[in-house]
Amino acid sequence: MGKIAFVFAGQGAQFPGMGEELYASSPAARGVFDAMEAVRPGTLKQCFSGDKETLSRTLNTQPCLFAMDLACAAALREKGVNPDLLAGFSLGELAAVAFAGMLPVEAAARLVCRRAELMDACAAGEPTAMAAVLRLTAEQVESLCKEFDRVYPVNYNCPGQTVVSGCREQVDALSQRAAALGGRAMRLNVSGAFHSPYMHAAADGLRDYLSGLTFAQPAMPVYANATAQPYGRDAADLLSRQVESPVKWEQTIRAMRAAGADTFVECGAGKTLSGLIAKIDPQVTVLRVENDQTLNSTLEKLGGNA
């Protein structure tokens, strides 16, 4: 086996009840959730018994998903599975930063809360949307975006899937244009035009907040969304840029493959990243952890003990 990479889920993967099983079964996962609850009371209730609408609001989604992502990885580490490389999709990048020891969990939790507040405030302005454009190349989607003045290509997910973000009316119009070219567009379950210029104020606010933090060197390479390369000593810059810059996910997975990763474990809610990685490189092993069953299955496949 080559290197193991943990990848952390992003916004849109949330679901009611997430994390409750692991909270009961894994002391390490429970510790993560309890740390988040201490920083932000009410997180446990939202994760375990919150409704879909409550969980879908950015202000709630990001802290809850951060706790879920990190708890899943902690449960794996508790069983003796340690990654060689890390990456996270959008919000998931902050879970990677925390897991790598660049920030203490409590400091990372407060950072996530501040990020959520800033992005939620940006999302409260002009009606915006995000949509995944399928069956068209990234270059075709970029060309389509040039036909509009307030829609941007923002997530390079995998071959044949590029996400656009921007003015809701123009996203809908672009979706129709994509269909005319043989593509298909699917609206995403998010509340703002993330990773676009619509998030510029959030990036500025995050930059101010990050200037007061001290980052340790990561215990293992952490790949940044904005560059698809490992962090150096530029964590504050990368994390502030990230909210208004495209997520280079396909490029990130290819860079991790080039660095020797052949097993990817998705930590957190859902299986979105697992599907994307399988499309980027069908030769790799893709596993995931979101509850007891997937944890035990992943441990079995990795040769560990449940």
pTM reported for the whole predicted model: 0.94
- Is 195 catalytic? The answer is yes
pLDDT of residue 190: 80
Query: For 113, left (φ over 0), alpha (ψ -120 to 50), or beta?
Result: alpha
- The C-alpha atoms of residue 195 and residue 172 are separated, in whole angstroms, by 18
Q: Which entry of 90, 175, 191, 245 is annotated as an active-site residue? A: 90
Domains identified in the chain and CATH numbers: 3-123+197-302 (3.40.366.10), 128-187 (3.30.70.250)
User: DSSP label at 102?
Assistant: S
pLDDT of residue 306: 37
- Is 90 catalytic? The answer is yes
Lookup: tokens for 248: 């280079």
pLDDT of residue 305: 35
Identity of residue 185: A
pLDDT of residue 191: 79
In the chain, which residues have pLDDT < 70? 304-306
- The C-alpha atoms of residue 22 and residue 18 are separated, in whole angstroms, by 9
Q: Which entry of 195, 196, 240, 245 is annotated as an active-site residue? A: 195
- The C-alpha atoms of residue 216 and residue 93 are separated, in whole angstroms, by 15
pLDDT of residue 123: 87
